[in-house]
Amino acid sequence: NYVFLGIVSILVLVSSVKVFSRNLDWKNLVTILERDLEIAPKSVKLNMLLANDLFESATVKNLKEKEKDSLFERSAFYYNQALSTYPKHTPAHNNLGVLYNMTGDYQKSQEHFLKASQDENPTAQTFFNLGLSYQANGDKAKAVENLKKSIELNNKNFEPYFNLMSI
């Protein structure tokens, strides 16, 4: 009985020390994920979580252009880290496509959307995003083609219809 109580006490003590040491890393989500990536740099999940948080910060917050560009650049870095581990990671390709589309790099945007569209089960959103990228780049024929593919996969989404009307 005393042995069991001693072992449980040691486990509680060790766990408590670990929790308190982790709290030093936890200023916000970015700091904890960056710390975790030092330990597991090839983790697709951690790279995606950090990239998504940085991307969201760049798009949601009212930032100066230089700060926004820095967040986009860091976000792209972590998406590419995820892709270096798992090259067919469709969400990373789709998110990079959106990022590059927002920054005006339509060539890279289309490359990533095309890779995302080659997934076994491509989503309507991927073709919608690809259509938007072609539309922004002035390629109306490819924009229409991909917006129609988006509708084929999900005819309940009004956005592709709306964009087709504006072409």
Instruction: Write the DSSP string, 129-141.
Output: HHHHHHHHTT-HH
pTM of the model: 0.81
Residue 111, SS3 per DSSP: helix
Q: Print pLDDT tens along the chain (167 aa).
A: 788 989 999 999 888 887 777 677 677 889 889 988 999 999 999 999 999 999 999 998 788 989 999 999 999 999 999 999 999 999 999 999 999 999 999 999 999 999 999 988 889 999 999 999 999 989 999 999 999 999 999 999 999 999 999 98
Residue 130 contacts residue 113 (beta carbons within 8 Å)? yes
Q: How far, in Å, are 41, 134, 154 from residue 85 at the CA level?
A: 10, 28, 31
pLDDT at position 119, please?
Answer: 84
- 46 vs 20, 22, 90, 116, CA distance in Å? 21, 16, 16, 20
pLDDT of residue 38: 92
CA distance 115 to 97: 10
Tokens, residue 57: 């910060």
